[in-house]
Structure 1
Amino acid sequence: MDMRALARPASELLTRARCQASLPITAIRGHKTTARTKRALKIAPHDSFLPDRSPNAPTGDSIIYNPPASEASPLHTPFLFLPPNDPRRSAIVRMRAANEGFVPGSSPTNAQLPPAMKYARRQPRYNLTAKDLEEMRRLRNEDPLKWSVGALAQKFDCSRIIVKIAAPPPESHKKWLKELQERREARWGPRRAKAREERKMRNEMMHRGEL
């Protein structure tokens, strides 16, 4: 067998690989930023939404009703666009009553309402008196580490917000917490410190409405 016949497919593959590698690479730029995405999605409104500029067009304010391309259900047709003597009004009322069991103007029953959401509801408590608030402040000033916000809320059966408002910690405890936080941040590396600063900056920008 001729060895040149076996070596020919391998040489052809190498030639094709060199040709493909020599082709220029075309870079495709996408919408990688918010500004480019907004500009790409900024589409002009349809002509039906724009005011009529023709010479015979009526002047003054008017209602622009632009329904979708698909045919809407008669159950959702608003009465605003039907004349008072239009027979479709009574037909729509009968259709709604037959399909939903609800006539406009009447109060819905419990069977027609959606199911109640299942979540833990908090009942407000008004069980604290002036004597309880004074005792709460005394315990908080006496030992803020033992009588923390959670411990006081559990003892007096109230919310944490009430404890924070009625019994703030003493200034010495605030100073100790601040020094503890500074010692903790002093052990951070440059990456963690930079991430913390960027998080603060994003929070401030969010409150200013810049994000």
Structure 2
Amino acid sequence: MASTFFVRAIRPSASAMESSGYVCQACRRHESTYRRTRKALRVKPDPCFLPSKTETQDHIIFNPPSSVPNVYHTPSLFLPSNDPRRTLHTRTSVPSTTPSASTTPSTPPKPIADKRPLPASVRPEYTKKYHLTPEQVEDIRQLRKEDPRKWTRVRLAEKFECSQFFVSLCCSAPEIKAEQDKQLEEIKKRWGRRKTEARDARQERKKLWGQDA
């Protein structure tokens, strides 16, 4: 008797459970069906996009792109009769009282030059230096030749207060270049077919840069 009660407590009878528990989860219909999704996306367009029912002919719609507001952007045709911006257009269109011989009333007024200061430069301004002597250039070559790993372009440029480009013009390190080429070849060996073909196509395009198409 006790064992029967224990089994019933663990496994309740079918009559005690709701019928919805036996519905197949895969057979349930969800909101994301094709018909309901298409019906939800069937939105009516805004009335402003529909043809006008009151006006018999087409008309111009002035809808400029978003930009810095300027009173001169809106044509006077689209301004109300009591808009104060109309006076600005009138001032620019009326010629001066003493026009010169070279100007005509039909000539549009010249835009006023913007006198605002220019923004600061990205990098600080500097002047080029031509202070290195032939002896110092020879020292650069000697240091680069003795120990190219220690005396790199950056260190030589800092020591002699010149640019790295100038150091590259003065001297070079063939052994460093050979090591870098060897490392690059090892990397290229691990490339796949698609990457190899893409790099080859890039080299072919570079050859055509200086040629007429």
| Structure 1 length-normalised TM | 0.44
Q: Which has the higher helix share?
A: 1
Q: If you compute each CA radius of gyration, which structure gives the higher value, 1 or 2? A: 2
| Structure 2 length-normalised TM | 0.44
